[in-house]
Structure 1
Amino acid sequence: MGSAQDSAAPSGSAEVLAAERVLLSLRHERRELLLGVREARTLAGLAAEWLRRGVSPGDLRAALTRGLPKDGVRSALGFLAHRLVEKLPAPPAEQPEPVPPSPPPSPLALIACAGPGEEHMFRPNVPWATTCGPCHREEQRAYWEDMRARTEAAPEPLPWRERFAAEGAEVGTGPDVGG
């Protein structure tokens, strides 16, 4: 099993030491996973790769001890080496560089209000505004007051029968009564 040691990081790295501790602690969970120190060091490089990929030591321990064969494990070293290679999680996806937030839009410039009264300035909240809020509301009140006055002054519309008769008279024929 010299190839496992070849793929390992330097034997003193933090991940390798943590992985070795996890491998040696497996005997406390399942007696059949008892490893000697030399065997644990042989597999520590493979287990350290799990830790580098973001797996916590507790999750690594659970992955190695969960779902053991019903007949038991004949060789803890062979079983763990196989499981460490075959169940190795995918490397974490690289996070994209965070995009800095765009600066807030600058406020629109002050413009002269086109409303009635003394000349005054305002900052529009939309680019097409030409009057300030109070002047705009006054214009709207005047517009709707004018619309109400026109509606009240307009004659009542004719009932539909009279409109129908008037349309028929314009065409030149009266309503066809009889039959």
Structure 2
Amino acid sequence: MLLSLRHEQRQLHLGVPEARSIAGLAAEWLRRGVTAADLRRALCNGLPPQGVRTAVGFLAHRLKEKLPAAPESVDPPQLPPAPPALIACAGPGEEHLFRPPVPWATTCGPCHREEQRAFWADALGRGDAAPEPPPWRQRFAAFAEGGGVPGVGAEGGAP
């Protein structure tokens, strides 16, 4: 990265031995979390208007003086929580174990889906057994013949 600075600022042309002599200072910036692009920006921006006499001296000075603060000590990453314990499925068939996705689950996924299919098949069966209500025209005609709303007296008042 230090050798490529000459492409951005012609005054910052370094030779290989010069770059090696300040490479340790640049590496410290990288150890402190600065990206290579940010380091390049810090070294190339705001050059003196009269120019740079020696690139290696100027860059060494900048690397020392503008060195960012050391990062705070980072806590070690915490391990993810342990998976839930295996429990016996309360569903039908042979006894088998599963890890519940939620604490209140008592059946594994396939057994739960089978219970739901059975429940809804039963609910649909009960719904088919109920008699179909008469069409609205028949209900209206029955209401007109009956002379009022069911549960209301003949005089039209409340019961």
Choose 1 or 2 for highest CA Rg. 1
Which structure is higher in helix share?
Answer: 1
